[in-house]
Structure formats: structure tokens, C-alpha cells
Amino acid sequence: MGYADTIRGLLAEQPFLLAPMAGVTDAAYRIMCRRRGARLAYSEMVSVAGLAYASNKTWRLVLPEDEEPQICVQLFGSKPDQFAGAVEAVAERVGSRLTLIDINMACPARKVITKGEGCALMETPELAEEIVRACVSRASVPVTVKMRTAFRQGERTAPELARRLEAAGAAAVAVHGRSAKQLYTGQADWTVIDDVARAVDIPVIGSGDVFSAADASRMLAETAAEGVFIARGTYGNPWVFDDALKLAREGDAPAERSFVERLDALREHLGLTHRYLPLMSRARTYATWYLKGMPHAASWRGSVVRCSTYEEFMALVDEIEADVAACQ
């Protein structure tokens, strides 16, 4: 069985995946989602140059915690030799828990693309192929690629690039239905998923505008995607993976989570951040996602950004819960 079949088998079990998100998918975030149905989870975007310099800060992005049974590591850069070295180093450090190596050719951030990295690699297909070959030559796990529709607005280069990367050894490709120039604006074009699927024989993972379990289930049903990346749809909703799977397989509509259940999840998330991350500052972002729709949410969001310690965050959640109870 080839690596494409390995990926296809994993997607058949659970097609809904926690997408790699810079500044978001740390160990605490991954564990929250794993506990609610995300069987495959990805690291944040990891610099191959950072790994080359053996930065402890960079390695913190890679290494799974004890509770995590696996990790998919997403790498970015522009130098094939650094990718090859990074693949070897990651395999050595992560060991049997490494599920796959993913190459980022989708990030549209200016500080990334100005270095010829991320989605800029879609403009240099020969280099993109060379990077895939370098990774495949050193990897003992599948190598996959995440890309966009194209780098430039109005173009559609993903199908041809996917074909070339399959020939270079990629075991699967993910495609986000926007160009780099669109960033995250406008509407994602899901038809590119079908175009890419027609161009290759390896599995295709869809991405873009998946904000709910219903969106995820619809992408799987209405496109040629064998898997679906859920990114912004996880914000304040780590239950989306179980919900999407039940909806896709059984037609069960997702349950509406109560305010109390969401606040309990926030406490759990804060506890994981306190345990696994050096600082609580990241909680200022995700805590506000759990508060959406709650009484006086705007005021509470203002309080969240003033919290610095685990104790301050937990005390604030107690205040919010008391306020919710008084309003009901």
C-alpha cells in the first residue's frame, strides 16, 4: 500500500481535520479538539530555517505532548536542503507519533511570501517540485502539500501544480479556494477542489469557508474532497469534528451548546494552556471566541484582554458564569 492509500484510509475514518493555523494550533488547542473528535491534528507552521538553527522556540511548535497520539508537522521555507534536514530532524525527535510532513504552499502573509515561501512557491513550480522531492527522499511518512487556487487573483494554477507535485512524490494535496492576493476576503471557490481532483490520483483535502459542522459536511458531500480542513470553524467550537462526522454519516444536526457548557470548555482550555504553554497571552484571543452570543459579551471581551495570569482568567470565567445565570 502506497502513502496515498495510507492517507486515504485515515480520511475514510475521520475526514474532518484540524487545520494548521499559525498562532492557534498549539498543544492546548490541539488537545481540546482531539478530545472532541479530531483524530488528525497539525502543528502550527514551522520554519525549516528555525529547525536548522535548532531553536528551542521552534521545536516547541513541533513536539507533541504526552496526551497526543500523533502529530502532522507543517513546514515552510524555500530551500530544499533545509527542508530535507528538517524532515530528518523532525522524524528523529517525534518518532512513531509523526503521521505526515506537510509543506506549506498556501500562507499568504506578506512576511512569508516576500521571502519566496508559503504561497509564493506557487509562482516557482520547479522549486516547489524540488522541495517535495527533497522531503520525500528523507521521509519515512507521507509528504503532503497545502496550496491555494493560485498566487495571483484571477488565475487557477493549483490543478497543474498539484499534478507536478504528485509526480514529485506528494501523497495528498490540500487546496484553499482563494488566491494568495485574496488573503481571507471574499468567498472561497470550492470548484477548484474538483479541478484539482481531476488532475491527480492522490487524495485532495478541501479548505476555505468551513465555519461550522454543516459547512464541513457540505464540502465533503458536494465536492471531490476526501477530507476537509476546519480552521476558523473551530474558533470557540472544538466540538465541530464530532458534530461534522455525525452529520455526514447519520444526518444528525449538531447540538446547541449551552453557555455553561461553553464556559466549562473555556476553563478546560485555560487549564491546558496553563499546563503546556509558557505564557497565558494566547488565551486572550481564544477566550473571546467561547463568549460569542453570551449576555454582555462585548464588555466581557474587554475584560479578557486585561487578564495576564491563569488565576485572573479563571476568576473572570466565574464572573461571566454568574452573570449568565443572573440573566437567564
What residues does each domain of the chain span? 3-250, 259-327
Q: Which is nearest to 211 in space by CA: 188, 183, 195, 182? A: 188
Q: What is the pTM of this model?
A: 0.95
Cα-based distances in Å from 167 to 50, 78, 116:
28, 19, 22
Per-residue pLDDT tens over the stretch 75-106: 999 999 999 999 999 999 999 999 999 999 99
Q: What is the pLDDT, as a whole number, of residue 183?
A: 79
Report the distance separating Cα 177 and Cα 181, nearest Å. 12
* Residue 143, H or E segment: strand 143-148
The mean pLDDT of the chain is 95
Confidence (pLDDT) at 189: 93
Look at residue 35 and tell me whether its pLDDT is greater than 90. Answer: yes
pLDDT in tens, 272-322: 999 999 889 999 999 999 999 999 999 999 999 999 999 999 999 999 999
Confidence at residue 180, expressed as pLDDT on a 0 to 100 scale: 87
Residue 182 pLDDT class (50, 70, 90 cuts): confident
Instruction: Give the highest mean pLDDT range of 20-24, 128-132, 151-155, 290-294.
Output: 128-132
* Domain 3-250 grouped into CATH 3.20.20.70: yes
pLDDT given for residue 1 in this prediction: 61
Burial of 271 (0-12, 13-18, 19+ CB in 10 A): middle
Q: How many whole angstroms separate alpha carbon 34 and alpha carbon 72?
A: 13
Residue tagged active-site, from 72, 107, 119, 307: 107
pLDDT of 124 strictly over 70: yes
CA atoms of 315 and 322, how far apart (whole Å)? 11
Residue-wise pLDDT for 201-233, tens only, equals 999 999 999 999 999 999 999 999 999 999 999
Using only C-alpha atoms, what is the Rg of the chain? 20
Residue 135 annotated among the catalytic residues of the structure: no
Residue 108: predicted pLDDT? 93
For the chain, the residue count is: 328
